[in-house]
Amino acid sequence: MALMKPVRSVGIVGYGAYVPRYRLASAEIGELWTDGNAITPVKQKSVPGLDEDVATMSIEAARNALRRATGVAPDKLGAVWVGSESHPYAVKPTSTIVAEALGATPHTQAADWQFACKAGTEALQAAIGFVGSGMSDYALAIGMDAAQGRPGDALEYTAGAGGAAFLVGPAESAIAEFEGSVSYVTDTPDFWRRQHERFPEHSGRFTGEPAYFHHITSAARELLDQTGLHPADFRYAIFHQPNAKFPLKVGEDLGFTRAQIEPGLLVNEIGNTYAGSSMIGLTAVLDIAAPGDRILLVSFGSGAGSDAFSIRMKETVDHHGAPATRDYVRRSLMINYATYSRFKENYKLN
């Protein structure tokens, strides 16, 4: 398949991250369920407070994106799109709540996107097309999750909260330009959650090789082939981060070095933020990238598929007081399992 590139060149005009304040150490979970014998996939994960959900976290990330997008008034947004697998309502869009809080209503497109951990980059692909076709000058694509893992399950160690928002606009006013993207999807039964079920199911043997590794390497190789680029042409590479091992391993398989991957690798500190995972890796990199730097972004969503993007940094970022991604990562308060359980509302108060 050919490289996807819009008629009009587009880029990232503004971006913003969000991570909640609370952290739960993997050791704390392992102590409870395995007498401390668990091999933990990350050091700790982020946990949302009692008054936080995908709508509130998206609002803060989007406000940060608008602060960095000098001169873009909220009513200029032609689309507000939120990709997540933990939308607060089963029926009622998250995106209208976010659009209202930003001041983008009523003349805007609003929609919620779903594709497991790829929901955010799915919205990003669509935003590139929406702006690139001239339907609108600006579209906001958000990837955000407050992930749930069944108590004691392997996913409980990594299911984190947070994500990022990207304001896509014309390349002339962008800080970074999209050079091209590809999508790669197949029907793979690696992970799912049925309607009305609280926790997801996963089929252990499908999660690694035929799911994560196959889709990411296929999408990344296709992008490299179509653009004629090589791993050495990129200053940074970000891969979906379900644990600390997979992104380093898949990067190595593709010919990328730790030095290219580590600046965008946050999973050890905040856990797997699902739809936000690769996208918040990108905001961490945009915080430090210099004009001319090229960035590879490859997401992965169970079910399954990957989106791969080549992004070229154009300008030095003007932050206008918006916190850096690492400011949110550093703002951390360790909690114990009892407090975590309370935040998950596992205690009946009346």
Partner 1 sequence: MEVARFWRTTGQRYQLTGEVCPNCGNKIFPPRDVCPACEHEAKTPYTFSGKGEVYSYSTIHAAPEGFEKYVPYTVALVRLEEGPLITAQLTDVDTKDVKVGMPVEMVTRVLREDGERGMLVYGYKFRPVLAGPR
Provide, rounded to whole angstroms, the least separation between the CB of residue 286 and partner 1. Answer: 14
Active site residue 319: no
Q: Residue 18 has which token pair? A: 């969000």
Q: For binding to partner 1 (CB under 8 A), which residues are involved? A: 21, 49-53, 55-56, 59-60, 88-89, 97, 100-103, 319-321, 323-324, 327-328, 331, 342, 345, 349-350
Active site residue 240: yes
Q: Smaller CB distance to partner 1: residue 88 or 170? A: 88
Q: How far is Cα 202 from Cα 153, in angstroms, rounded to an integer?
A: 10
Provide, rounded to whole angstroms, the least separation between the CB of residue 59 and partner 1. Answer: 5
Which amino acid is it at 8? R
Provide, rounded to whole angstroms, the least separation between the CB of residue 49 and partner 1. Answer: 7
Which residue is catalytic, options 87, 214, 215, 240? Answer: 240
Q: Residue 260 has which token pair? A: 């290219």
Q: Within the chain, what is the greatest distance between any pair of CA atoms? A: 62
Q: Smaller CB distance to partner 1: residue 39 or 347? A: 347
Task: Give yes or no for a contact between 134 and 109, defined as CB atoms under 8 angstroms apart.
Answer: no
Q: Smaller CB distance to partner 1: residue 60 or 122? A: 60
Q: Smaller CB distance to partner 1: residue 35 or 51? A: 51
Which residue is catalytic, options 28, 60, 85, 269? Answer: 85
Which residue is catalytic, options 117, 156, 179, 215? Answer: 117
Q: How far is Cα 10 from Cα 175, in angstroms, rounded to an integer?
A: 10
Q: Smaller CB distance to partner 1: residue 101 or 224? A: 101
Give every strand in the sheet of 44-47, ordered side by side. 44-47, 22-25, 333-334
Which amino acid is it at 306? S
Q: Smaller CB distance to partner 1: residue 62 or 139? A: 62
Measured CA angle at 130 (ends 162, 63), to 5 deg: 35
Active site residue 197: no
CA torsion angle 26 32 34 40 (round to 10): 0
Q: How far is Cα 27 from Cα 37, in angstroms, rounded to an integer?
A: 9
Provide, rounded to whole angstroms, the least separation between the CB of residue 28 and partner 1. Answer: 19
Cis peptide before 38 (omega within 30 of 0): no
Provide, rounded to whole angstroms, the least separation between the CB of residue 273 and partner 1. Answer: 18
CA 223 to each of CA 82, 157, 214: distance values in angstroms, whole numbers, following the listed order: 25, 32, 14
Q: Residue 26 has which token pair? A: 């993997």
The residues annotated as belonging to the active site are 85, 117, 240
